[in-house]
Structure 1
Amino acid sequence: MAVREVCKGRTEGILLFLIFGLSMYTTAMSVAFMMGFKSLIPVFQFFKEILVLSVLTLNILSLRYRPRFHLLDYAILSFLVYTFIYAILPIGDQGFVDRLLAFKSTSFYIVVYFAGRLSDPKSIFVNKYFNYIILLTIAAGAVLLVEVAMQQQLQLFTGYADYCYYFFNIEPSGVFGLSTTFDSDSGLRRFASFFNNPLEHAAATLLALSVIAALYTRDDNKFKPTSIGVLAIIASFLSIIFALSRAPLVAYFFIIYIYALVTKKKYITGTVHVGVGLVAVYLIYLFTQFENNNHNGLIAVLMNTVDFSDPSSVGHLVQWVEGIMSMIAHPLGLGLGTSGRVAGSLGENVGGENQFIIIGVQAGVIALLLYLAIYVMFIKTCLKWLPLLKGKERKICMAVFLIKVGFFIPMLTSEVESSSYLSYMNWFLSGILISMIMYPLRPQLQPANDH
């Protein structure tokens, strides 16, 4: 469907594939592998990149005006060029192919950004694609309920473990024979619905919550969800609970709090303040009781997270320290493929489990500062334009702002950019936002200090 739309010149149709294809991408690939289509999977794996490059090319060829570039465009392009130098030069111990794979994981989302950036903002039906995300969220919640009722992860039936071992050299691990991300130290199952893993499922919920807030918030800041919207909110809450991923869970409520601040909903901010106070009192109480009682389940997860006593939290700390020490010793980086997903598949990972540290270890402090600058500039730009925009432009602006805010916390404990669904949706929408605010025929609302 996405290819048909793109071939007809409606390049925004790629969103169909980004939403419905990438969200269940790994599940589809593992099922294909299980059914004996092993030889076709490499073709499938590169389809998303080919589709993005095709959309970018078509958008460039169909430009009817010379685009006005934003400061963010220059910063993002600088990051792409800088990391590309690390890919083509023999920097580090990894081979050329491994460096290219790491470059794709580290920087291909920038190509996705420009595919959205050079789209015609007038041709994009924001409500339609945001409603597709709503439907996807409800579908994910429905699959989750079946998983919870059966107390079996969907990935146990899709050939997930064999697929990951064959293509990524990741051996089955954990209590359930999938990977350790599917189980917790308390013994509770973590569910991924049809996403790649519980962390991606949880982070996808953050994206969904941001879209729900943007779609149903009117220009006067009144939140008016439909019955389908309410169902999506319930599905998102169930997803974030049963994914049992701590950083996204914190980010979920952080998004709600930031949304309330931006839209001036004092009853929400007041409720959050009271809730934080009650949680603080409850934590103090648990600390006084925890040593003398054998707690299990959610309380154990909570307490082991707070006092950094569980292996997962300790593992994060070890990886962070290792990555920071590496950046101090090698400020220009160790080379692409030395940290993150590609390095993990090669068994030579240094300082992973943090998006920012992964970039710094591979491409050095300069690349890290560029990435951080881009992130901060996006948040600043969204805050600057949100009061000025109306209609679909305001919805895109609010969604991008909340996504950036929401993803920050999970980025501290994972490589969010390695998830095609999360990364591509984030950056394609970001590109559309900049395209909208830089459109040459738009009213002169541009802030005085904007570029």
Structure 2
Amino acid sequence: MALILFIILSVVIGIALLWVLEQMVFKGNWSYFIFFLIIYLPFYITTLSVVYLTTRSSSIVSLFQILKELVVLIGVLVFLFYQKKIAEYPIRMMATDWFLLGFLSLGFLYLLLPLGQASLINKVLYYKSMIIPGFVYFLGRNTRFNKQEIHLLFKIIFGIAIGAFLVNLLENYILNAHLQQFTGYSLYNLVINQIEPTGNFGLTWTFETQAVTKRLASFFSDPLEMASSVLMGFAAGLIWFLTTKKEYNWFYILVMFCSLGSLVFSASRAAFGAFFLMIFFIALVFGLYKLIAAGFLSLLAFAIYVIFFASEDFYFFVLDTITFENSSSIGHVVEWLLALDSMIGNPLGIGLAMSGNFGSVSDELRVGGENQFLIYGVQMGWLGMLLYIFALGSGIVLSLRTFYRTNNTQIARVAFVGSVTKVGLLLPLFTANVEIYTYVSWISWWMIGFSVQEYSYLRNLTNDSIQKMPSL
């Protein structure tokens, strides 16, 4: 099975890579890097696991590891190469640009400062995990896609959402096991990441609930990444459903159904909360107050089910989660308190690669790690955390403004999905190092950059129109 998966993944990744490189290098379409990322990133850890299980070569694994960064960097270089007069390239900085630039500049300063106990190589690797999404945003900020290109982008997102659910069904009803039990996931973690197998399924504790039931991840790295990623699939299906003629929108109902199905299989409490937060935000965007009422009634129905009809195990699982007596919930609180204590004692931060669950952060040095905001706060102080929050918040606001103002339906769809996905991720950001979920993180940052580009264009178009108006 592993050999078959290895051949399939290698062929698909190879074809996608060659097509994207041809478009980028020979035709100057630097923006096409996003197509490779959107195809490759959902299968990233599964690919690495299968590659190591098949070849037992860490060198070959390393080649697959660097593909995502390599394609992004080639995109940046091609962009610079095809600008004949780069010094005259129009730069219209928006709020999100300034905040993100400040965040990345501060990170670079902390890379150079002799601060913290992490090694220089670990700091460099950690900063790479910060700067690459910045490049993705930058390329999105300089992308102008036509209708067909945006349509292709969404087709892939829809395919990922449906494919994830189909694999979930395969895991739950046919294999009766996690896909990761067949792909060499544990072996890859043990040899490459030095992570011992844990839990009752020989993977990690993330793959099971406290009641020792399976939490599925499909082809994603773990259930938490899948749960966060399908939020983007649901948002994409919803906006296409709302902006497509009724006789053609059955497919988007299927996409939303599959996304919700995967969310259930993931058994992620934070993602369930994020879904309701996202629905509430969508209802506000469209003024669908009946949807808010429906959401409230759904929560009420869920509460009634838990209290009167659910099994005793499920009842106490929900109760312990709400009261923070669940071991996982307690773990989150402990990590938050450790991070806050560090930030209070060291308001300027303790250095890069000192917090979070990224691979370059050593376990013995880690302070906190289960809250994306606090992770940056521990490392780069209160300023670093605030710059990240402001970059995220301004990106959501400007994307939403783009959605309201643009007359281009395709661009409006991108802006909607980018803003709604980032809002949906707010709750998981409090309980996980979400920026390491490269598929949903990088693609949504690209969408934010793409939307800010359109907003900048619309704003300047409005300003030019005002200037050309005859005086009275």
SS at match of 2:405: coil
Higher mean displacement: 253-262 or 202-211: 253-262
1:115 paired with 2:139, answer: yes
Contact 1:168 / 1:345 at 8 angstroms: preserved in 2?
no
Task: Give, in whole Å, the separation in 2 of the partners of 1:269 and 1:75.
Answer: 32
Q: Deviations over 1:229-282 (max 9, x none)?
A: 122111111100010111011111221222122112233222112223444556
For residue 268 of structure 2, the aligned residue among 245, 256, 273 is 245
How far the C-alpha of 1:447 sits from its partner, in A, is 12
Partner of 1:402: 420
1:56 paired with 2:76, answer: yes
Contact 1:202 / 1:243 at 8 angstroms: preserved in 2?
yes
How far the C-alpha of 1:35 sits from its partner, in A, is 0.7
SS at match of 2:276: helix
Contact 1:121 / 1:436 at 8 angstroms: preserved in 2?
no
Contact 1:343 / 1:349 at 8 angstroms: preserved in 2?
no
Residue 95 to residue 183, structure 1, CA distance change in 2 (3 Å): same
Partner of 1:135: 159
TM-score (ref. length: structure 1) = 0.91
Partner of 1:89: 113
For residue 266 of structure 1, the aligned residue among 266, 282, 289 is 289
For residue 78 of structure 1, the aligned residue among 97, 102, 105 is 102
Task: Give, in whole Å, the separation in 1 of the partners of 2:367 and 2:22.
Answer: 42
SS at match of 1:386: helix
Residue ranges of structure 1 left out of the alignment (5+ in a row): none
Contact 1:84 / 1:103 at 8 angstroms: preserved in 2?
yes
Higher mean displacement: 147-156 or 97-106: 97-106
1:336 paired with 2:352, answer: yes
How far the C-alpha of 1:61 sits from its partner, in A, is 3.2
Task: Give, in whole Å, the separation in 1 of the partners of 2:463 and 2:225.
Answer: 37
Contact 2:136 / 2:442 at 8 angstroms: preserved in 1?
yes
Task: Give, in whole Å, the separation in 2 of the partners of 1:422 and 1:335.
Answer: 26
Name the aligned partner's letter for residue 19 of structure 1.
I
SS at match of 1:444: helix
RMSD of the alignment, in Å?
2.5
Residue 53 to residue 343, structure 1, CA distance change in 2 (3 Å): closer
Name the aligned partner's letter for residue 45 of structure 1.
Q
Partner of 1:369: 386
Q: Percent identity?
A: 30
Partner of 2:249: 226
- After superposition, where does 1:341-420 map in structure 2 within 5 Å? 341-342=358-359, 344-390=361-407, 391-420=409-438
Task: Give, in whole Å, the separation in 1 of the partners of 2:454 and 2:37.
Answer: 20
Q: Deviations over 1:353-390 (max 9, x none)?
A: 11001000111111001011112212222333322123
Aligned residues: 439
Q: Deviations over 1:192-238 (max 9, x none)?
A: 0000000001001111112222333329xx98862321221111111
Partner of 1:40: 60
Which structure exhibits the higher relative contact order, with contacts defined as CA atoms closer than 8 Å and separated by 6 or more residues?
1
SS at match of 2:127: helix
Partner of 1:304: 320
1:256 paired with 2:279, answer: yes
Higher mean displacement: 9-18 or 371-380: 9-18
Task: Give, in whole Å, the separation in 1 of the partners of 2:302 and 2:463.
Answer: 43
Q: Deviations over 1:302-355 (max 9, x none)?
A: 222112222111100000000000000011111111101246544421111110
Partner of 1:68: 92
